[in-house]
Structures are given as C-alpha cells and as structure tokens.
C-alpha cells in the first residue's frame, strides 16, 4: 500500500489539533498552572520543592496530555472517515499511529520542551542536564499520547468522552510516570530508569496502535 493514506491522516490530524483554536496552548496552560499552584500548596522550602519536583512535573505532564486526546478519533467516526478507511483496506493500526503521532507533535512535544523550564521552579539547576531531561520528557509524553490514544479510540463514539479516556489511560500511564520521575530524582535506581522509560515508550508505540485499531473496528460495527 502507498503511503498516501498515512500522509493524509497525518496532515488531517495536524489540522484537527488546531481546529478548536487552542492547539498546544490549552495543554501548556494546564501544565504551567499545575506547576505554579503546587508550590503555593506545599510551601517554598527549597529542599521540599527539589524532592517533589520531578514527580509533580511528571504527573502534570500525564494529566496535560489528556486535554486534547478526545479530538483524535471522534470526528472520524462522526463524518464517516473511519468507514472509508476500513472500506479502503488501509491498515487501521498504521493510520491510528500516524494520527496519534500528529497530535503528539502538536501538543506533546511542546509540553516536553516546556517541562524543563518549569523544573527551574522546583529548584532544578540551570545546566545542560535540562536538555537531557527534555529528551526524557519527550519519550514519556510520546508514551502518554499513545496509551491515551487507546482510550480515545475506545471512547470515539461517546460524546464528551474525556472522563472515560482518563479512566482508561491513567492506569497505563503509571509505569512511564514512575520511571520518568525516578530517572530525574537522582536517588537509588535512577541510573537504569531512563532505559526502563525508553522500554515503556517502545512498548506503547508497539502495542497501542493495534489496540487502537481493534477499538476503532469495534466502533465502526
């Protein structure tokens, strides 16, 4: 099969990501608001902020990734695009992966690049290590979007399915969030944590498209 359907799905999703007029701004606002409010709740002690900072940012990143997921497949089920995919015999798993990747580039990658800036609020040192952290955030956010895509596919026919997506996706986010926070904590086990984070992302990229495909086929029946 030619790559034209994949490219079309990718370009369509890039447009859909900005269709609501917000694009990456809404997830970025959610992430930034969380990072600003947490210090107000736990105090301004530098040692405390430095200890809880990595975990807080990873939790905020996971929650911010849920903001735009509802739009990935819902329009395709409503306007008949999903039926055209199935009738054309296109590999739905590849199309779902392309659409999810487009949404990650629109919202997930900006979140990952913005997260090291927020880490400075939690007493992180301004050093080249922040660039490494940005790569780890990018890896983790990619896993968040692919696992979230499974929830989006399962709720594609549900109006206002954001809560259902959260219930499905959040348990799948746990390993990525744990390994991501551990990789930046500097504590015991942090040395091998980036490898486990990369493994969890590879697992998401390998498994999630087929789960999305099965869910979308079920939605089309």
Taking each helix axis as running N to C, give the angle between helix 129-154 and helix 193-220, from 0 to 180 degrees, rounded to the nearest 10. Answer: 20
Contact 144, 157 (CB under 8 A): no
Sorted by where each begins, the domain ranges of the chain are 23-220
Please tell me the predicted confidence (pLDDT) of residue 11.
80
Model pLDDT for residues 145-197, shown as the tens digit of each residue: 999 999 988 888 777 777 888 888 999 999 999 999 888 877 666 788 899 99
Mean pLDDT of 6-34: 75
Q: What percent of the chain has pLDDT over 70?
A: 92
194-216 per-position pLDDT tens digit: 999 999 999 999 999 999 989 88
Mean pLDDT over 26-47 rounds to 80
Q: Is it the case that residue 20 has pLDDT exceeding 60?
A: no
pTM of the model as a whole: 0.89
């Amino acid at each position: 099969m030619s790559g034209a359907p994949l490219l079309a799905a990718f370009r369509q999703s890039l447009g859909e990501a900005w269709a609501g007029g917000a694009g990456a701004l809404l997830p970025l606002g959610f992430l930034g608001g969380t990072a600003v409010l947490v210090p107000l709740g736990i105090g301004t002690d530098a040692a405390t902020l430095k200890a809880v900072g990595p975990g807080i940012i990873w939790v905020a990143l996971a929650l911010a990734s849920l903001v735009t997921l509802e739009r990935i497949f819902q329009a395709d089920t409503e306007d008949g695009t999903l039926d055209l995919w199935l009738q054309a015999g296109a590999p739905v798993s590849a199309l779902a992966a392309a659409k999810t990747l487009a949404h990650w580039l629109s919202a997930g990658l900006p979140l990952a690049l913005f997260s090291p800036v927020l880490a400075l609020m939690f007493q992180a040192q301004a050093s080249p290590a922040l660039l490494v952290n940005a790569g780890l955030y990018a890896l983790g956010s990619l896993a968040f979007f692919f696992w979230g895509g499974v929830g989006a596919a399962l709720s594609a026919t549900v109006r206002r399915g954001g809560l259902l997506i959260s219930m499905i996706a959040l348990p799948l986010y746990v390993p990525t969030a744990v390994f991501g926070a551990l990789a930046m904590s500097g504590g015991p086990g942090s040395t091998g944590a980036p490898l486990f984070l990369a493994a969890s992302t590879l697992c998401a990229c390998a498994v999630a498209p087929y789960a999305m495909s099965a869910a979308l086929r079920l939605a089309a029946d």
